[in-house]
Structure 1
Amino acid sequence: MQGKGLCGSSRLGTGKGYGMASRWVWERFRWSIAPCAAAFLLACSQGTGPEQGGGGGHPVEVGVLALAPVDVGATVELSGRLQASRTAQVRARVAGIVERRHFVEGGDVRAGQALFDLDDSLYRATLASAQATLAKAQANLVQASARHVRYSALSQARVVSEQDRITVESARDQAVADVALARAAVETARIQLGYAHITAPIAGRIGRALVTEGALVGQGDATPLALIQQIDPLYVDFSDAAVPGMVGRSAPGSGQEVRVLLEDGSAYQARLLFAEAAVDPGNGQVALRAVVPNPQGVLLPGMYVRVQREREMLRGVFLLPQQAVTRSPQGDTVMVVAQDGKVSQRTVRIDRTDGQHAGQWIVREGVRAGEQVVVDGFQKLRGATVVQPVPWKAASASAPSSAPSSAPAAVTRPASSASAGG
């Protein structure tokens, strides 16, 4: 009995001691974690204060750009094709066998440079025959002229009849005509002989030879022998929509500058020559032509290029870095900072700029002069009700707004008026 009592007494004692130890550990844990929890909550409340932009925090700083109206040309990018400024197809104008070729295929030739030689033996013989006929006619003219002089004197002395004088005078005139005819025959034979030696009609770059030595050319038709194209300068043919004011800006002598862009991004300056006098009724486009210098021969006829031209001059518009405009299917928007530091979203209407203002948009409508548009710090606007606008640093805009070295002359000017459409 005592053993059971001792054993029971021992188990009861052990359970009671365990419960008191557990309560003591829990009390120590609760008092030790309470300060940590309070410090964590305080840190969280302090961390979210500045993000709210109100309460006890300071307003967040965002980079803004104050709008100033300017006059800038709105450009459009069009598809064009290069054409040779002059094209000449070299043909055989007389029949003959090709004896020699004097040019390098694909090289540059001068006007008047020898290209082909045909067998000219027949034409030399024809020229000699014509020259002999001329000499015979000239001899007959001498005889007829002397007879005419003699008969004129006899007619005045009434030794010969008037009819004989008229007959001799007519023979003299016929001899004069025979000499003229023989001279024309000689000139024709000389021209035919010259056609046997084919020269370049214009200066330019010649293509491949279309015939070889030994070929019979010009038999019944003017056989094409080669093609010469003048590639300096080149013409750029393209089309643009017929908009008001384009006729005056595209008139001959206007000297409007356009830019020709290749696939690799290289740009060339060109000058507008003319615009067609009528609009194509099929597509409402006007055909235009510009001339582009090509001294190095890099551009070739037939190449497809992109043409940037100033379609119209926009007055009193604004230039904004592209990063300041948010583009979406619903429209283009910017963030505007009011005088009290509050930010609001504005829908704007934008246009493309020329190469000089790469990285910027033309803003036509939606903002006013003097307003501050957010350019940098958009990530800080989340949850902020009031912001602190600071001028946007030009250094951060230098990279995207840099223009190619071949950009056209500046077309941006301060606007005459101090306001734009809102």
Structure 2
Amino acid sequence: MPATVSPPSAALAQPAARLSRVALLALAGAALTLTACSKDDAKKPKGPAQVGFAVLSESDVPLEVELPGRTAAFRIAQVRPQVSGVIQRQLFTEGALVRAGQPLYQLDASLYRASAAQAAANVLSTQASAEAARAKADRYRPLAEDQAVSAQDYTDAAALARQTAGAAAQARAALSTARINLRYTTVPAPITGRIGRSLYTEGALVTANQADALATISVLDPIYVDIQQSAGDLLALRRQLAGGGAVPTAPKVTLRLDDGSDYPLPGVLEFSEVTVAADTGTVVLRARFPNPQGLLLPGLFVRTRLTQASQSKVILVPQSALSRDARGNATVMVLAGNKAMLRDVTAPRTYGNQWVVTQGLKAGDKLITQGLGKIKPGDVVRPVPETTPQHPMMKPRK
């Protein structure tokens, strides 16, 4: 049987198809290469990077310290009985505002009323005796002058008159004491303030010399805040004031509550203790705060921001313009002509959203504040004022 021969056209079509696929792959690879090159060209910087700078100037900055404190009542008084007796009635509502002199407790007054009545009777008796003795002495005086009675009789009558007058005075004093004790059976509020819970109930026996108070009254508006400041910090501040690095200012105190919120009303520093606590090594500063809403309660722990002086001739640097290395050393980037230079600075504290720089910078230096992420020390840059909009690098056209 004769062999079958493929047509010449089919044999030539297969190599041509392979060549066309290879050509297409080569063209696609070339296109990808051109695209990658165009992207690399877009990433290459077109000239020096643009950075924003600020011209530095010296400032006076308050020396603020944050210290722990604890609130204390402006006034506090313990309600105590002046006489002994059984509580018959409680005349106040716990937690309410009471006025000075307002009755708080009523004690059993029957014995004290009887004592007052007895003292009043003694006054009447002694007064009668004193009047009789005085009348007798008055009658004996002319008789003794005329020698109708002996001088001794007149002397005895005059002495008896003085004795009975003294007894009458003692009786009147005893009556006053009895009436005072009777008045003390009603226990009054010693001051105006907010009263706490009652530690004794009706029917309880109380005594004049007992150790426990019946209740406690506190004045909460205004309220004190006792601040603990380290003796070393206080000494450093005084040295700084003496050396001229700081200027004393009117003390200002603000509060931060335990939940992190700021107390809206500022306080006034009242005084500082003259001794250092031996157990804590701190000095107590007392500040007074208005408390019209009763938000602050005695015994509350707070954080205080205290301004005692003002630090002069320092440089304020935005926090975003300052960085720290692994050892905590602070550095900034400044302009030296059109070059970015790294400079070490001393920034011990912050003020608001800025660092307080005490060494390393001076007035007139140009601090780079914008574009720090695209430069490194020694780079040539294109500086513009920080108020100038920072435009991104333009991509080349395709």
Q: Specify the TM-score bucket, using the shorter chain as the normaliser.
A: 0.7 to 0.9
> Residue in 2 aligned with 1:335?
332
> Residue in 2 aligned with 1:346?
343
Native 8 Å contact 2:342 2:377 kept in 1? no
1:337 offset after TM fit, Å?
2.5
2:228 pairs with 1:233: no
Instruction: State the TM-score, normalized to the length of structure 2.
Output: 0.82
Q: 1:30 to 1:289 in 2, by over 3 A?
A: same
Native 8 Å contact 1:92 1:222 kept in 2? no
For 1:63 and 1:222, the matched residues in 2 are separated by 73
Query: Residue by residue, what CA displacement relative to the aligned partner does 1:236-257 show, whole Å, maximum 9, x if unpaired?
Result: 11211233375799xxxx9622
Native 8 Å contact 1:255 1:272 kept in 2? no
Q: 1:83 to 1:36 in 2, by over 3 A?
A: closer
For 1:35 and 1:44, the matched residues in 2 are separated by 14
Spell out the pairing of 1:98-109 with structure 2 (5 A cutoff): 98-109=87-98
Amino acid at match of 2:67: L
> Residue in 2 aligned with 1:44?
40
> Residue in 1 aligned with 2:285?
288
> Residue in 2 aligned with 1:75?
64
Spell out the pairing of 1:352-363 with structure 2 (5 A cutoff): 352-353=349-350, 357-363=351-357
Equivalent position SS for 1:256: strand
Q: 2:105 aligns with which of 102, 116, 124?
A: 116
> Residue in 2 aligned with 1:364?
358
> Residue in 2 aligned with 1:256?
251
For 1:19 and 1:384, the matched residues in 2 are separated by 61
> Residue in 2 aligned with 1:88?
77
Q: 1:314 aligns with which of 311, 314, 324?
A: 311
Q: Which moved more, 1:209-218 or 1:367-376?
A: 367-376
For 1:393 and 1:138, the matched residues in 2 are separated by 100
Native 8 Å contact 1:94 1:222 kept in 2? no
2:205 pairs with 1:216: yes
1:304 offset after TM fit, Å?
0.5
Q: 2:152 aligns with which of 160, 163, 172?
A: 163
Q: 1:379 aligns with which of 344, 356, 373?
A: 373
> Residue in 2 aligned with 1:413?
none
Equivalent position SS for 1:338: strand
Query: Residue by residue, what CA displacement relative to the aligned partner does 1:380-416 show, whole Å, maximum 9, x if unpaired?
Result: 2269812333333599xxxxxxxxxxxxxxxxxxxxx
Alignment root-mean-square deviation, CA: 3.4
> Residue in 2 aligned with 1:63?
52
Q: 1:244 aligns with which of 230, 235, 238?
A: 235
> Residue in 2 aligned with 1:389?
383
1:101 offset after TM fit, Å?
1.1
Q: 1:257 to 1:202 in 2, by over 3 A?
A: same
1:159 offset after TM fit, Å?
2.7
Equivalent position SS for 1:144: helix
Q: 1:99 to 1:280 in 2, by over 3 A?
A: closer
Native 8 Å contact 2:324 2:331 kept in 1? no
Query: Residue by residue, what CA displacement relative to the aligned partner does 1:90-124 show, whole Å, maximum 9, x if unpaired?
Result: 12221212111111111111111111111111111
Amino acid at match of 2:262: S
For 1:382 and 1:188, the matched residues in 2 are separated by 92
What are the ranges of 5 or more consecutive residues in structure 2 without an aligned counterpart? 242-248, 390-398
Q: 1:35 to 1:303 in 2, by over 3 A?
A: closer
Instruction: State the TM-score, normalized to the length of structure 1.
Output: 0.78
Amino acid at match of 1:130: A
Q: Which moved more, 1:115-124 or 1:223-232?
A: 223-232
What are the ranges of 5 or more consecutive residues in structure 1 without an aligned counterpart? 51-56, 396-422
For 1:285 and 1:160, the matched residues in 2 are separated by 84
- Number of aligned positions between the proteins: 377
Amino acid at match of 1:44: D
2:323 pairs with 1:326: yes
